[in-house]
Amino acid sequence: MCPHFGGVLISESVKHQKKDWVNIAFLSLTPVVGIFGTAAWTWTHGFHLWMPILLVVMYALVGFSICAGYHRFFSHKTYEASPIVQALFAFFGAMAAENSILWWSSSHRVHHKHVDKDWDPYNITRGFWWAHIFWIFVKNEQFDDTFANSPDLLKNPIVMWQNRWHKAILIVAGFGIPTLIGAAFGNPIAGLLWGGFLRIVVIHHTTFFVNSLAHTLGKPLFNAEVSARDNWLVAMLTLGEGYHSFHHRFPTDFRNGIRWYQWDPSKWLISGFKSVGLASDLRTAPMPQIEQARMQAALKTVKTRIESTPGSMGDEIRRRAHVAMEHLETALKLWRQHVEEKAEGVSKSWRETRRRSRQHVQQSRRQWKWVVRTLRRVPEAA
């Protein structure tokens, strides 16, 4: 038996891991200074509009450097970024106090490879608070400090420069810049508190929400076999990272929210970089493959009901579900064909092939909607 503490599954191996007292002290004291210190100083010295503006601007610069930079570019290479953009991500990302690009991305790649298993550094099966923050309180003795899973990053001079200087950037720029801005308004301590400490607390816990809330709240819309969930509220809190089921199923897609209306400012920022020539080769998963993943995940949740529905109604439900999958398989074949034709420059042919692929996707959706509507009317077995 493994004892529980605050929702954390504490195994014997975890209890014997060495504590990282630097991380424990930093992550324990920054909320005290950032929240209570900022509130006390503002109460006694007055509130001014520039203070929350400084917080929001610093949060945006650092937060996007983590989401669009550390995560979607350096960890997953979902697009190509110019050296200028990479340097900005490296500089402002260091201010997040989440270690270097090299360490962060290498750990994240381990998470994706071993999600929900023992090797996953922020394994949600150990409990919500383990995934959220407690995993940082112990030294990961399994961590490969040779970074063998990140040879591309080891060859990147910007990454290696930042790996050497990220702590200095954090201290000098992460705390120095907001202090200087505060001094320009006559209150350097307020600048340090609002743009330094409070901003770090917000950055930390919105990032940590991706490891905890995004593996707890929501629905596994694209992969029912892992804990990752899609949840619009988590996306609002994490600059678009809350559509996590999609991300774990398609980690090389530069988007997390695939619909135009889904809150994903990191996606919009990357698209903006492309429009001005600072990013290119934005990778997206084929639409038929996305629909196929969605349907496979949905089938897992209703498989028992489909199989247990008796009579002609059950036969028709199973037939329609099968037809829906066949349409998607055809759509995926046509999509791959259109990619080949487009590469060969056969303009008229690839456009027609793509149109036919989309038609099959639409037909699949119609069949599947019928299955879902019909299942709602079928009483569940006792």
Instruction: State pLDDT tens for residues 150-168.
Output: 999 999 999 999 999 999 9
Q: Output 375-381 pairs: Cβ under 8 A, ≥24 positions apart.
A: 375/302, 375/305, 375/306, 375/309, 375/317, 378/305, 378/309, 378/313, 378/317, 380/305, 381/305, 381/308
Coil, strand or helix: which one is 138? strand
**Alpha carbon distance, N-terminus to C-terminus of the chain:** 33
pTM of the model: 0.88
Q: Average of pLDDT values for 229-249? A: 94
Of 9 and 21, the structure prediction assigns the larger pLDDT to: 21
For residue 1, pLDDT beyond 60? no
Q: Which of 37-51, 58-72, 81-95, 344-358 has the lowest mean pLDDT?
A: 344-358
Structure confidence at residue 107 as a pLDDT band (50, 70, 90): very high
Contacts of 276 (CB under 8 A, 6+ apart): none
Residue 238's Cα: distance from chain center in Å?
A: 8
For residue 13, pLDDT over 60 is answered with no
Residue 3 pLDDT: 36
Average pLDDT over residues 41-68: 97
Place of tokens 């629909």: 291
CA-CA distance, 258 to 245, in Å (whole number)?
A: 12
pLDDT band at 346 (very low <50, low <70, confident <90, very high): low
d(CA 98, CA 203): 9
Q: Which stretch of DSSP H or E encloses residue 377?
A: helix 347-377
Whether 6 shows a pLDDT value over 60: the answer reads no
Q: How does strand 4-5 pair with strand 8-9?
A: antiparallel
- φ and ψ of 30, to 5 deg: -60, -40
Query: What is the percent of the chain with per-residue pLDDT over 70, rounded to a whole number?
Result: 94
Beta bridge partners of 219: 230
Q: How far apart are CA 250 and CA 289, in angstroms?
A: 10
Residue 87 carries which side chain, given as an amino acid letter? Answer: A
Specify which residues 80 forms β-bridges with: 280
Ramachandran category for residue 279: left, alpha or beta (phi over 0 → left; psi -120 to 50 → alpha): beta
- The pLDDT assigned to 380 comes to 66
Q: Which two tokens stand for residue 189?
A: 């301590």
Q: What is the pLDDT of residue 249?
A: 95
217: phi > 0 → left, psi -120 to 50 → alpha, else beta; which? beta
**Residue 10's pLDDT band (boundaries 50, 70, 90)?**
very low
- The DSSP secondary-structure symbol of 323 reads H
pLDDT over 90 percentage in the chain: 66
pLDDT of 145: 79
pLDDT at 316: 86
Q: How confident is the model at residue 4 (pLDDT cuts 50, 70, 90)?
A: very low
Q: What is the pLDDT confidence band of residue 361, given thresholds at 50, 70 and 90? A: confident
Residue 283 has pLDDT above 80, yes or no: yes
Q: Which segments of the chain does DSSP mark as H helices, in order? A: 12-15, 21-31, 38-45, 50-64, 83-94, 101-113, 128-132, 151-154, 157-169, 176-184, 188-191, 199-211, 232-237, 244-249, 265-275, 287-308, 311-343, 347-377
Residue 152 CA, chain-centre distance (Å), reads: 21
Top-confidence residue, 51 or 371 = 51
Helices 101-113 & 157-169 angle (0-180, nearest 10): 110
5 — alpha (psi -120 to 50), left (phi > 0) or beta?
A: beta
For residues 12 and 46, what is the distance between their CA atoms, to the nearest angstrom? 50
